[in-house]
Amino acid sequence: MNNNTQRAACCATLTSLVVLLSGCVAAPFIVGGAAVTTATVVTDRRTTGTIVSDQVIEQRVSYEVDQALGQSKRHVTVTSYEGRVLLSGEVATLNDRQTAQQVAAASLDVREVINELAVMDPTSMTTRLSDSMLATKVRSAIIGNSRISLNQMKVTVDRGIVYLMGLVTREEAQLAAQTAAEVSGVQKIVTCFTVESAEEVARRMQNVDSSNASTSEQP
């Protein structure tokens, strides 16, 4: 069994929820009730376990922040990549902003918190719909650039501000930011990438292959 087949096969053993990075085009299969593509797992620079962990972190931190802020008005988006958590959106007070960061930092498996929460009234549903459409446009633009891959990053948009997270080389980071900036409607680009050299990325992928192959061999 080659590495790509092993990496795809190991996904079928997962019982946790895995969410596909939006914008990828490939035939989906079902894992724990969610649609996951083989292409995502094969090209992602995270292990399958880390992909699952990031999704769990997003759900857990969202719940914990929601509970901590109680009745306070807010719109908080949580994005995780390799345990690095981005908080974006809006909260009512500076204290709410600090509380959200403290809660996220204390949550299980969170390595770092990037707090981009704005202290202001929550955006309207119209604005959020516009942000969602803009995120789709940015993802499509990245997919259309053959020199970068959406599977190495996540795209989040709040108030027209595009946040890019992932694990990339310096060149890929620059290309992703430039590509996103050219999309109509983008107000600002915030890069939250982990940047590694091409050699480091190659070594990482070898480790990912080994880790996923080991997972697939477990009973």
Can you give the CATH number for the domain in which 83 is found?
Answer: 3.30.1340.30
Kindly state the average pLDDT of the residues 200-215. 82
Domain identity same for 139 and 86: no
Among 1-10, 129-138, 141-150, the least confident range = 1-10
Domain that holds residue 102: 51-119
Q: How much is the pTM? A: 0.78
Residue 22 has pLDDT above 60, yes or no: no
Domain identity same for 100 and 153: no
Domain identity same for 61 and 73: yes
Look at 170 and 6; give whichever has higher pLDDT.
170
Look at 199 and 39; give whichever has higher pLDDT.
199
Picking from 53, 57, 15, 21, the residue whose alpha carbon sits closest to that of residue 33 is 15
Among 57-61, 162-166, 178-182, 208-212, the least confident range = 208-212
Domain identity same for 17 and 67: no
Between CA 44 and CA 130, with CA 134 as vertex, the angle to 5 degrees is 135
Question: How many Cβ atoms are within 10 Å of 25's Cβ, its own excluded?
Answer: 8
pLDDT computed for residue 26 by the predictor: 35
pLDDT computed for residue 127 by the predictor: 98
Provide the number of structural domains found in the chain: 3
Q: Among residues 119, 139, 174, which one ends one of the domains?
A: 119
Between CA 62 and CA 70, with CA 67 as vertex, the angle to 5 degrees is 120
Domain identity same for 129 and 115: no
Q: Among residues 67, 101, 119, which one ends one of the domains?
A: 119
